[in-house]
A and B are shown apart, each in its own frame.
Chain A
């Protein structure tokens, strides 16, 4: 076991997969130097053809990856911050997600799109997006979201080996988190959630750095004999419905905590799913604790007000227990 941070764990995954399969290559702005860490050092080993600096044209970066995949290669695209993916929406939706289907399976598009999400802290709205929910209802994509270095490396390997376009969302605020990463080869499967903490009173599904906030709140509630079960979905498409539903069957109460917005967010999707499939188990409505419905303001007191904090999470739990 090695203790690592998330980005070096991702770097290791990419490196190992590039050694394993010569068709895997990396495209992204600044990929060669990899100043933010994801692709650092890869060009030294694999060369600048396989670790390619791209011009600033996110739409065509995505499109070139799709075309290269159509021609038999296995590209990894680093979008950097997820807000930049908006420039590539046409390629991601109209081509990446749909070409295989429209061509009745003639094409296979094994592509990984790496994106960082969440507030970095006062960088302003355009650099503070959490937009996985905007892709969740685009059929044909897979979407994963690791929250530990272990899951980051394991899911990245699975993503690279998957023969479909995968949107790989990493919490920008998770760069300092340390975790154990095995030295031997391993992968983490898609469609399997992680139970972070067991409890029988309230289920909380949380994403990104919200998980750490929920964990702190759970410790507080434990003092009062209230057990919070925390679930890290890890995989949004496909979603591990069973783990969530089993937990709701046990606790009867569900909160989803997400840095994305509540409106049409992943929290809305999980809430609808649970209401359809576990209505009988619910003792109370599903609550959503999300970023307030405004663009992310820059100033810290406002930004902290917008993003869910421990108090809002506690209040929601207390509401459910009343």
Chain B
């Protein structure tokens, strides 16, 4: 847990980080509730428990920087500042969604916030970010690309191809790996040749940094340094955030997997004790940055906001069927 830099940051900034984590949490909980009510078409992969890595990393970016997200991407986009109403509407596949219902949960994107895409194929978005970083370098516009990835994708060929290229050409990429120990039901430790994902960074001649992914300040500090390094033209960094997802790989996992479980209730409970939001809240109170009432107020505001967001999405119209034929080609 970082200390000095935390104290030096303004209270306002710390509370903003807290608020953003609460927003991600409440957003994901709202999606979970809607899914349970049968109101979410398709499948959703929630990031409850992983709020610190999304918020800490995205907070290091400037407007104009790129992110590429994954199937477990809602939190990244909320943290990046994508407008919540169109985001929720897209997950509900409505016409007012950020992709007009064409993408759904797996293909959320908002170019205006630098979200080039959310790629549902594991590891399929790493090269998009690497390419955007290449373009930045060629144009000299100083932008940084931050692809998110999971522990599972660190075994995909594209991970190695992109780590290599980004390093060979000192591209401004910050690879943010959220290692939550599992790829669906497969333990990373069983299918990986190295204990940490970050071990692989040395093979590609870049820094590999391991942080407590549930410590938003630790994530933020590391991300800020990696982003600065990239912007200075010194090349990429692999940032591995150790974290854990509270929910299943997707919502409804218990039903679909028919009780075929892969992790113990005990393990889940142990990680819940390391709730990034609760832990940060306690830290803020200990340091006198806020009172318990202050935190409760933030949470209440976030709840109220999310109620509006959910209402907006639920009241949004469905796309016209023929809209399926639009936007295939550019003129």
Stretch from A2-10, A61-69, A287-295 at the B interface: A61-69
Q: Is the CB of B329 within 8 A of A164?
A: yes
Q: In the bound complex, do residue A59 and residue B327 qualify as a contact, i.e. CB atoms below 8 Å apart?
A: no
Q: Nearest chain-A residue to B99 (Cβ)? A: A104
Name A163's closest neighbour in chain B (CB-CB): B330
B238 CB, nearest partner CB in chain A, Å? 16
Is the CB–CB distance between A65 and B131 below 8 Å? yes
A282 located at the interface, meaning its Cβ lies under 8 Å from any Cβ of chain B in the complex: no
Q: Give A129 Cβ to nearest chain B Cβ, in Å.
A: 21
Given contacts A49-B138, A90-B124, are A68 and B131 in contact (CB under 8 A)? Answer: yes
**A91 to B101, alpha carbons, bound, how many Å?**
22
A95 at the interface (CB under 8 A from B): yes
Question: Which segment, of A70-78, A180-188, A224-232, faces chain B?
Answer: A70-78
In the complex where A55-B165, A66-B127 touch, is A106 in contact with B111 (Cβ < 8 A)?
yes
A-B contact count (CB 8 A): 142
The answer, among B117, B127, B145, for a CB contact under 8 Å with A103, is B117
Question: In whole angstroms, what is the CA distance A8 to B129 when docked?
Answer: 33
Encode B79-121 as 1/0 by CB contact (under 8 A) with A. Answer: 0000000000000000000011111000101110000110111
Instruction: Write the nearest CB–CB distance from B228 to chain A, whole angstroms.
Output: 20
B331 part of interface (Cβ distance < 8 Å)? yes
- Which residues from A are CB-within-8-Å of B103? 102-104
Q: A63-B126, A65-B131 are in contact. Are A104 and B331 (CB under 8 A)?
A: no
Minimal beta-carbon separation of A195 from chain B (angstroms) = 26
Across the interface, do A55 and B107 meet the contact criterion of CB distance under 8 Å? no
Complex CA–CA separation, A64 to B138 (angstroms): 13
CB of A271 within 8 Å of the partner chain: no
Chain B: residues with Cβ within 8 Å of the partner, total of 45
> What residues of A have a CB within 8 angstroms of the CB of B120 in the complex?
94
Give the complex CA separation of A72 and B109 in angstroms: 16
Asked if A73 meets B135 with Cβ closer than 8 Å, knowing A90-B121, A100-B330, the reply is: yes
In the complex, residue of chain B having the shortest beta-carbon distance to the beta carbon of A75: B131
Q: How far is the CA of A60 from the CA of B158 in the complex (A)?
A: 6
Chain A residues, Cβ within 8 Å of B143: 71
In the complex, the chain A residue whose C-beta lies closest to that of B102 is A104
Task: Encode contact with A along B124-167: 1 for CB under 8 Å, 0 otherwise.
Answer: 10111111111110110001010000000000011001101100
- B327, A67: Cβ atoms under 8 Å? no
Q: Is A300 part of the contact surface with B, judged by Cβ < 8 Å?
A: no
**Considering the complex, which residues of chain A in the window 83-116 have a beta carbon less than 8 Å from any beta carbon of chain B?**
90-91, 94-95, 99-110
**A25 located at the interface, meaning its Cβ lies under 8 Å from any Cβ of chain B in the complex:** yes
A247, chain B: closest CB distance, angstroms: 27
Q: Is the CB of B124 within 8 A of A102?
A: no
Q: A91 to B127, alpha carbons, bound, how many Å?
A: 9
Give CA–CA (A225, B48) in the complex, Å. Answer: 77
User: How far, in angstroms, from A103 to B112 measured CA to CA in the complex?
Assistant: 12
- Chain B residues with Cβ under 8 A from A60's Cβ? 126-127, 130, 158, 161-162, 165
Contact A70 B128, beta carbon cutoff 8 Å: yes
Contact call B164/A102, Cβ cutoff below 8 A: no
- For residue A93, which residue of chain B has the nearest CB? B121
A71 engages B132 (CB within 8 Å)? yes
**CB-contact partner of B330 in A49, A65, A102, A108, under 8 A:** A108
Q: Is the CB of A67 within 8 A of B328?
A: no
Within the complex, the shortest CB–CB distance from B62 to chain A, in Å, comes to: 15
Contact yes or no, B99 A106, CB < 8 A: yes
Q: How many whole Å from A139's CB to the nearest CB in chain B?
A: 6
Query: Please, how many angstroms separate the alpha-carbon atoms of A264 and B100 in the complex?
Result: 33
Q: A49-B138, A55-B161 are in contact. Are A103 and B111 (CB under 8 A)?
A: yes
B268: interface (CB < 8 Å): no
Separation of A73 and B141 alpha carbons in the complex (Å): 13
Residue of B68, B109, B124, B331 touching A106 (CB-CB under 8 A) = B109
Q: Would A101 and B328 count as touching, CB distance under 8 A?
A: yes
Q: Is B66 an interface residue (CB 8 A)?
A: yes
B66 partner residues in chain A, CB cutoff 8 A? 71
B203: which A residues are within 8 A, CB to CB?
none
User: Is B7 among interface residues, defined by CB-CB distance under 8 A?
Assistant: no
| Interface flag for B168 (CB, 8 Å) | yes
- Which residues of B lie under 8 Å from residue A103 when comparing CB positions? 99, 102-103, 107, 109, 111, 117
Q: How far is the CB of A229 from chain B (nearest CB, A)?
A: 30
CA distance A107 to B66 in the complex (A): 13
User: Is A140 interfacial (CB-CB < 8 Å)?
Assistant: yes
Could you pull out 23 A-B pairs where Cβ atoms are within 8 angstroms? A59-B157, A60-B126, A60-B158, A63-B131, A64-B165, A67-B145, A68-B138, A69-B131, A71-B136, A90-B124, A94-B121, A95-B124, A95-B128, A100-B328, A102-B102, A103-B102, A103-B109, A103-B111, A104-B102, A104-B103, A110-B330, A139-B328, A140-B329
Besides A55-B165, A71-B116, 9 other A-B contacts (C-beta < 8 A): A25-B138, A55-B164, A59-B157, A62-B127, A65-B131, A67-B134, A70-B132, A99-B109, A102-B107
